[in-house]
């Protein structure tokens, strides 16, 4: 008899609504294992749609709803509420599919809340958010940042400062930190470090444009 639990998360990289299914199960040697199972694009994030897609994936691999022994999601109301939500829909078919709030999600919320009480940490991420908004919110500035990254990568390759291989030296964008996304604050910092020179160039261009505009207004 198959006993397994699954959790669901929505990645923020894709522009389409998606869900990742992760299975937590007990193998034949009674060891608990957790494995990435499937990623599915969904039309919407209603409980009925998500349940339908999960059931389709499970049935494709001959995994049965009645064997679910747990389900874990983040704190979204349409996932863990009491009525007509994903948790309840699975419990209606399998009363043993006990719900557990995602521990990584709860820990992330605790860490974010605690960090706000440390002034230097709060100010750091506040400044980081402002910098990212300045660059990413404008398509023109974002294009300028990516162009600057391309020039920098070309120069570093020419001077043998970085290695070249398939998939390396990709041009990226600054990543916003999400309060509910585990590890997103670290990824946001890493994206700024990686794109630091290009980001400085964009901000410098904005500053220079504002200076020129101010002079023109004064002269006028």
Instruction: Look up the domain containing 53 and give its range.
Output: 4-101
For residues 129 and 70, state if they share a domain: no
Residues 75 and 97 in one domain: yes
Task: Indicate if the pLDDT at residue 5 is higher than 60.
Answer: no
Is residue 91 located within the same domain as residue 121?
Answer: no
Give the per-residue pLDDT at 75.
58
In this structure, the answer to whether residues 41 and 137 fall within a common structural domain is no
Q: How far is the C-alpha of 171 from the C-alpha of 147, rounded, in Å?
A: 9
The answer to whether residues 80 and 131 belong to one domain is no
Q: Please, are residues 24 and 3 in contact by the beta-carbon 8 Å criterion?
A: no
Closest listed residue to residue 8, CA positions, set 42, 33, 31, 32: 42
Q: Select from 76, 101, 126 the last residue of a domain.
A: 101
Asked if 112 and 207 sit in the same domain, the reply is yes
Is 74's pLDDT higher than 80? no
Domain count within the chain? 2
Please check whether residues 116 and 67 belong to one and the same domain: no
pLDDT for 69 equals 82
Let me know whether 77 and 118 are in one domain.
no
Cβ–Cβ < 8 Å for 1, 67: yes
Tell me the C-alpha distance between 136 and 142, whole Å.
5
Task: Please report, for the domain that includes residue 88, its CATH number.
Answer: 3.30.420
User: What is the structure's pLDDT at 145?
Assistant: 85
Distance CA 95, CA 89 (A): 10
**Are 83 and 112 contained in the same domain?**
no
Where does the pLDDT of residue 170 fall: very low under 50, low under 70, confident under 90, or very high at 90 and above? confident
- Domain boundary pick from 101, 132, 148: 101
Indicate if 69 and 115 belong to the same structural domain.
no
Residue at which a domain ends, from 52, 74, 101: 101
Q: What is the 3-state secondary structure (H, E, C) of 103-127?
A: HHHHHHHHHHHHHCCCHHHHHHHHH
Distance CA 12, CA 176 (A): 10
- Indicate the pLDDT class of residue 11, thresholds 50, 70 and 90: very low
Sheet-wide strand order for 32-41: 32-41, 18-26, 4-9, 68-73, 99-101
- Compute the distance between CA of residue 103 and CA of residue 77 in angstroms, rounded to an integer: 16
């Amino acid at each position: 008899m198959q006993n397994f639990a699954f959790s669901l998360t929505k990645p923020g990289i894709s522009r389409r609504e998606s869900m990742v299914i992760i299975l937590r199960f007990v193998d034949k040697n009674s060891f608990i294992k957790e494995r990435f199972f499937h990623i599915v694009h969904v039309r919407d994030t209603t409980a009925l749609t998500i349940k339908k897609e999960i059931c389709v994936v499970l049935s494709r691999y001959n995994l049965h709803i009645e064997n679910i022994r747990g389900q874990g999601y983040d704190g979204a109301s349409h996932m863990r509420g009491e009525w007509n939500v994903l948790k309840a829909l699975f419990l209606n078919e399998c009363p043993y599919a006990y719900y557990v709030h995602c521990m990584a999600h709860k820990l992330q919320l605790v860490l974010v809340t605690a960090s706000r009480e440390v002034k230097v940490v709060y100010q750091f991420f506040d400044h980081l958010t402002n910098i990212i908004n300045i660059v990413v919110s404008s398509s023109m500035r974002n294009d300028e940042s990516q162009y600057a990254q391309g020039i920098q990568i070309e120069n570093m390759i020419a001077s043998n400062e970085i290695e070249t291989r398939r998939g390396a030296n990709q041009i990226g964008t600054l990543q916003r930190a999400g309060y509910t996304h585990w590890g997103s604050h670290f990824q946001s910092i890493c994206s700024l470090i990686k794109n630091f020179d290009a980001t400085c160039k964009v901000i410098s261009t904005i500053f220079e444009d504002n200076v020129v505009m101010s002079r023109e207004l004064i002269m006028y």
